[in-house]
Amino acid sequence: MDVSLTVWSITIGAIIVLIAVDLFTVSAKPHEVKFKEAASWSLFYIGIAVAFGVWVLQEYGSTAGTEYFAAYLVEKSLSVDNLFVFVIILAQFAVPSIYHQRILLIGVILALVLRGIFIAVGAAALAAFSFTFVIFGAILIWTGVGLFKHWDEDPEPNDNAIVKKIRARIKMVNEYHGSKMFIRIDGKRIATPMFLVMIAIGSTDLLFALDSIPATFGVTSETFLVFAANAFALLGLRALYFLVKGLLDRLIYLSLGLSIILMFIGVKLIMTYLHEQFDSIPKISTPIGLAVIGGILIVSTVASLIKSKSDPAARAHAGRVTSGHDPEE
């Protein structure tokens, strides 16, 4: 793909405008987000993502269009797992529901910045060293295997090393003071629980970026498509949270399905590298990859709904890559 600087500028500018509109209008005043509002914004962001994909299809051809939609599907599915963790963080830190929207929007902004950095680094590494495909593939396989082993567990935000260090080193109050992260008491600047929440959200974004960026590069090596797929998937994350948070507990096998998707994309990346070295080794095409990813998501979703219907007490888990045992305890 030959993407001009003008196209890059317009795309980034449009994303900034969307964030600004959200930041200064919709989420400017803390409020409870109802289903109708969440559904409207979810459809809006999905519509923008699909319209962008249609434009890519017309402007750059079917291959680019297929790769974009495959990358968007991967990012959207991984973002649902991200939502699980956000729900856990907001619940364990007892964040008042009227502030959820603002926190999630800031989390999305942080995620966009972090993923932009990772995409730039990843693209440069792939351009300089084709063996980076193998490194990315190994990361995804390792992550997928870990998630497969612990798909029915939940992460513990308070085990976060950064959160632990901040708790130990920074003086904090126990009460929330609106959306403020710091307040002044007797002339001293003191942190509120909101500061810890934002640290937990930001570090979670960082961890998800380490998985999602290699996964997106697994379906397309075009930097522009990787960035666009990530951006449009993230922009709709806040609205999706309020739309499906009541349904998340029913997606019992989603984490299991995502673990298989990560391992599949990891294998796909390694085979891509080997195909470049040895013609006899086949390369998994984007249409086949898209079909496999879509099939896994459909099977895991249907199986989840069947399980939740037969066993109402069963609930979904976010999953974790490593064991829940804390060696320091």
pLDDT at residue 33 is higher than 60: yes
Q: What is the pLDDT of residues 165-200, one digit of tens each?
A: 777 788 888 788 877 888 888 888 888 888 888 888
The closest of 238, 236, 198, 214 to 15, measured between CA atoms, is 236
Report, as an integer, the average pLDDT of 311-319. Answer: 79
Structural domain contains residue 12 = yes
* Greater pLDDT, 52 or 85: 52
Q: Cα(42)–Cα(46) distance, rounded to whole angstroms?
A: 6
Q: Cα(142)–Cα(263) distance, rounded to whole angstroms?
A: 8
CA dist 216 → 36, 57, 70, 151, 206 (Å) = 31, 18, 8, 21, 15
Structural domain contains residue 128 = yes
Structural domain contains residue 158 = no
pLDDT band for position 159 (50/70/90)?
Answer: low
Structural domain contains residue 274 = yes
Average pLDDT, the chain: 82
Q: Cα(245)–Cα(318) distance, rounded to whole angstroms?
A: 12
Write out the H or E segment, with its range, that includes residue 21: helix 5-21
pLDDT band for position 326 (50/70/90)?
Answer: very low
Structural domain contains residue 173 = no
CA dist 167 → 159, 177, 219, 260, 299 (Å) = 11, 18, 40, 36, 42
Structural domain contains residue 160 = no
Task: Classify residue 316 as exposed, middle or buried by CB count within 10 Å of its CB (0-12, 13-18, 19+).
Answer: buried
Structural domain contains residue 165 = no
Number of domains in the chain: 1
Structural domain contains residue 123 = yes
For residue 273, the enclosing domain spans: 7-152+193-310
